[in-house]
Amino acid sequence: MGPGFAGPYVGGMADDRPLKSERRLTDTEALMWAVERDPSMRSTFLNVTFLDRAPDVVRFRRRMEAAVAAIPRLRQRVVPPGIPLAPPSWEFDPEFDLDYHVRHMAAPPPGHERDLLDLAALLYTDAFDPQRPLWQYTIIEGLADDRAALLAKMHHTITDGVGGVRMSAMFLDLERDPAEDPASPPPASGGESEDDLEGRDGMFESVGAALRRPLDLTWRAVGGAMESARNPISTAQSMARQLVITDKARSPLWAGVRSMGRRFETLSVEMGAAKQAAKSLGGTLNDLYVTGVAGGAGAYHRAKGKEVDELRVSMPVSTRTDKSAGGNAFAPSRVLVPAGITDPVARFAAVHERLDQVKSERALGLADALAGILSTLPTPIIVRLARQQVETVDFACSNVRGAPFDLFIAGAKVLSNHPMGPTAGTAFNITLLSYLDQLDFGLNIDTAAVDDPELLRDCLRDGLDEVIAAGS
């Protein structure tokens, strides 16, 4: 099953985006799947969506039935290859049970937000059952002020942040009570069932993939070599900055042990003021975001009696060139950001310059080829190499554009969205998702690395407020 499957008109939103649904995991996805032999490097993400009231559970379940029928990936699980060198494949779960994936529970009274975030962190740390599709949606009722929440948990092999936002159109409405809900379309398959096709052709495809893969990797390596030959010095320098970093992470506080313990925190700032400040300072909203986070991280170190000049952050650079939903289309990047510059204007200028350099890094174009080569290695070696590279990074940072208009889920209005991206072996992940006139942040913290999560949250908020004020 290849790309190009189009979703139907669902939930009041005309969703004609092609859905990326390759038969086999891409090299990057296969690499993410392999490194999970180390549990602290799992690639799970979870979005906490606050709602103004409890959604209609029956209606939401009906909407998810339509989404599951339209999006093959939501009915598929990852299956190891039958022979060496072939990548893992997506195969339909013969015992798919929607009730396992769509859940509903009540928060214990009095429904404090802190209790919800603690519950979300607990659900986040539970590993996915590899025998089932890699997603769970949980409606939580009984929050204070009659609010509710949706906890959308998904594995990164299904999609990245941009693809996930686009996939969510399958269950979102543009009004509280649209005229009618869509009927569930039949699963996307022709003549024979997908399961029959998997069983009949799976081994032949595995053999074909195994035979083609060395040739594919060779051609990609040749392409990378040709690029290196054209620009040998700049390409080598770029690779040293991005793909094969040897020095350790810079934080004197966050180095060392990692764990499965997680703490979730949330932040929100007004988007109009942030955009105006970024423009006034001569850069982008993403420049302002990273400047605020770097300043907050530096302030956290100073509050703990430690000085730090720079911190290394990992940031995904989107390579998506179409309007497709689902799948993964990004290149990982790493950049040193100034955490010791206390003047927000000077720090903004430094961040702007460094992020501009990242956009032109030649090594980013070689990341997929390197992932392909690495994914052919034995899993223990992949894990060890991945751990060595993760140990060079202090924290992870991501930025996703959301909807600039009101959204509703089964009759409940969306108030805010806070994405909890994977820490992937770093001290914390902070991810920004815009919505309406606000910037919502999710802060996913490894509790073994950061011993004062509330202080970190407050420092990051102060850092964002400081740079916004500097540009006002």
- Report residue 325: phi and psi, to 5°: -115, 155
Residue-wise DSSP of 69-125: HH-GGGGEEEE--SSTTSPPEEEE-TT--HHHHEEEEEPPTT--HHHHHHHHHHHHH
In three-state secondary structure terms, 203 is helix
Tokens 């051609």 correspond to what residue? Answer: 219
Are 287 and 467 within 8 A, CB to CB?
no
Catalytic residue among 101, 155, 156, 418: 156
Are 134 and 78 within 8 A, CB to CB?
yes
Tokens 């009101």 correspond to what residue? Answer: 406
Helix axis angle for 367-374 and 27-34, nearest 10°, is 50
Strands 428-435 and 395-400: parallel
Chain-centre distance of CA 187, in angstroms? 27
- Kindly tell me the burial class for residue 160, based on how many C-beta atoms sit within 10 Å of its own C-beta (0-12, 13-18, 19 or more): buried
Active site annotation includes 156: yes
Among positive and negative, which fits the CA dihedral 54, 55, 57, 61? Answer: negative
Per the structure block, which two tokens stand in for 453? 């999560």
Chain-centre distance of CA 76, in angstroms? 19
Strand-pairing partners, residue 442, are 266, 431
Residue-wise DSSP of 130-175: TTS-SEEEEEEE--GGG-EEEEEEEETTTB-HHHHHHHGGGT-BSS
Amino acid at 42: R
Per the structure block, which two tokens stand in for 191? 């003549």
Rounded Cα gap, residues 18 and 324, in angstroms: 5
CA distances (Å), origin 156, targets 40, 153, 328: 14, 10, 8
Active site positions, annotated: 156
